[in-house]
Chain A
């Protein structure tokens, strides 16, 4: 069973991202959406956590990244998906945990 986790809170203002990471098992995917996309940028402590969680897949919703002007700050190894890609991820996983 693989889970798709979604995180929609900034990792700098809430512990949602950290909690999610604690529950993300090998082979699962963490999709960063809305204010969650700030975790997908480079040059801070959260980026290190993503780098170290190499058995988990990370994806980010492109439209939310573009809205915040951060496309050029995207960290390596994080897949950018559009809304269609979001739906695909939902279909590919057994269930979805939306961390709020």
Chain B
């Protein structure tokens, strides 16, 4: 099976609708197929990555810790759009610190999140072979 460039585009806030959770589940299932995977977080999608989520009182599953496991599935290209963060009064510090271990460099820990401009992300998107939108 040939390796294809997949991008999952996340544009919805978590918990208010099921899109964010469904996207994460599809990413995890897709990770089993050893493809070249990128995740993009645009618009309200950036809210999926906020740290300190606590869903106890709303009675829903807190799926935010799962993002930290993506590195173990070699999902380590996580693009966050700079403009979307700024429009919402957020910075990278408000998001989880997501990392992966590079086995080619003695398992050095590296950042998974790439903060990019809208124009830069448009270029990355244009290089993809398959784009799945949530």
Binding site for B on A (CB under 8 A): 8-10, 12-13, 34-35, 38, 41-45, 47, 62-64, 66-73, 82
Beta-carbon contacts under 8 Å, B56-78 to A: 56-58, 60, 62, 64
Residues in A with CB closer than 8 Å to B62 are 67
Interface stretch (choices B9-17, B107-115, B117-125): B9-17
Residue in A closest to B45 when the chains form the complex, CB atoms? A13
Q: Is the CB of A68 within 8 A of B53?
A: yes
| Chain A neighbourhood of B94, CB < 8 A | 69, 73
Instruction: List residues of chain A with CB within 8 A of the CB of B52.
Output: 69, 71-72
**Are A35 and B89 in contact, with the CB atoms below 8 A?**
no
- CB pair A68–B87 under 8 Å, yes or no, is no
Q: B87-117: contact bitstring with A at CB < 8 Å (1 yes, 0 no)?
A: 1111000100000000000000000000000
Residues of B15-53 whose CB lies within 8 A of A: 15-17, 43-44, 47, 50-53
Q: Which residue of A lies closest to B13 (CB)?
A: A35
The answer to whether A12 touches B44 (Cβ under 8 A) is yes
Given A38-B47, A43-B90, A69 contacting B54 (CB threshold 8 A): yes
Partner of B43, one of A13, A42, A62, A66: A13
